Amino acid sequence: MSLVGRDLVSLLDFEKPELESIFRTADRMQHSTRKCGTQLKNYVLATIFFEPSTRTRLSFETAMHRLGGSVIGFAEPSVSSVAKGETLADTIRMVESYADAVLLRHKIEGSAKFAAEIAEVPILNGGDGSQHHPSQTLTDLYTIRKEFGKIDGCNLMLMGDLQHTRSASSLAYGLAHYKDITLSLVSPENLRMRPEVTDHLNRNGVKFTEGEDSSEYIDEANVIYVTRLQKERFPDSKQAEAFKGSYVLTKQMLARAPKNAIVMHHLPRIEEIPIEVDYSPKARYFQQAANGVPIRMAFLYSSLHRFKYRPVKVIQPDSKDSRKCSNVNCISNQPREPIVSSMKETLSKGERVLQCQYCGRYTKL
């Protein structure tokens, strides 16, 4: 399928050949990350951020400028009409009339999928809640591919707050496109990867184990992917305190990893990677962040070049569906958004459950 006019909402929406095509385009873009071309001259990207960001927003902005396009937007919702109570739907409908693509970051899960349903222009998901972060995952997969020449066959250890880190669940969805992946999911018992993600890994034949002790897995890992404790996503910040410092990748622990292993992190890192690890030849997190520019250039180019507006999508409210998502942080539970609940029945560990088509979470039947 063509990438022209495509949204970047989730890794679940892509096929492996499409990912490979983005990576090949990024290889070509790699040579022009320090100069400005004209490939997207006359195109405008709007960046609307309802949560803090350094890398995602700035690397997308850089990517757009390097392709000769321009950027409008806000990085702080208090300066937009959202502070006056404007809905996300109205904000999207306005902003898309000013720009050729909209990059959105929001704490509400499923917000990017919803925006993509109502927008005429491509929606780029800069992270929604603890769910998806597709441009980070493209960056991560591209970094692994550059390092090892391929992604198939890779052994990865993901450690930390796997329940709330969107880069981690998004990476799991991305890895499910590849063959012979070995995945160790290391986290405190209460911060394990959510079941809709592990069910997806199972359905796609990804071998994974879950555990609490990183020393059981580090000897075999080619990629050690460290995550930040996502304090802001806990219902109560005191709960997060209990996990503070629970997963730290020390220099001593890293010494046990295979010689060719690399350390990755979506950044910002707080205390989970001590500064002394920066000097290890295994550290790749800054290189990983730098790879975010060619990969975002590649996606912007692939989606926007030759793109003509797509027809408006009309949401058909289905008043018969009264089943509600149990996730209060889901876009389908925002009373003023013109949205209909979209719950589908599925199986999780042999049990029938409802899955929300916006946030992906399960609700008991």
Residues forming the site for ligand NCD (CB under 6 A)? 55-56, 127, 133, 136, 166-167, 228, 266-268
Report the residue closest to ligand NCD, judged by CB: 228
The least CB distance from residue 24 to ligand NCD, in Å, is 23
Buried b / exposed e over 160-188, threshold 16 CB at 10 Å, is bbbbbbbbbbbbbbbbbbbeebbbbbbbb
How does DSSP classify residue 147? Answer: H
3-state DSSP call for residue 317? coil
Q: Which is nearer to ligand NCD, 89 or 128 (CB)?
A: 128
CA-to-CA distance for 347 and 46, rounded, in angstroms? 39
Q: Which is nearer to ligand NCD, 268 or 317 (CB)?
A: 268
Q: Which is nearer to ligand NCD, 133 or 192 (CB)?
A: 133
Q: Which is nearer to ligand NCD, 71 or 353 (CB)?
A: 71
The least CB distance from residue 56 to ligand NCD, in Å, is 4
First to last CA, the chain: 36
The least CB distance from residue 127 to ligand NCD, in Å, is 4
The least CB distance from residue 141 to ligand NCD, in Å, is 14
CA-to-CA distance for 264 and 60, rounded, in angstroms? 20
Answer whether 298's CB lies under 8 Å from 22's CB. Answer: yes
The least CB distance from residue 105 to ligand NCD, in Å, is 7
The least CB distance from residue 166 to ligand NCD, in Å, is 5
Q: Which is nearer to ligand NCD, 167 or 214 (CB)?
A: 167
CA-to-CA distance for 80 and 77, rounded, in angstroms? 5
Strand intervals (E) in the chain: 44-49, 70-74, 101-106, 123-128, 155-159, 182-186, 207-211, 223-226, 262-265, 343-348, 351-356, 362-364
* β-bridge partners, 73: 47
Q: Which is nearer to ligand NCD, 131 or 332 (CB)?
A: 131
The least CB distance from residue 233 to ligand NCD, in Å, is 9
Q: Which is nearer to ligand NCD, 56 or 302 (CB)?
A: 56
CA-to-CA distance for 170 and 131, rounded, in angstroms? 7
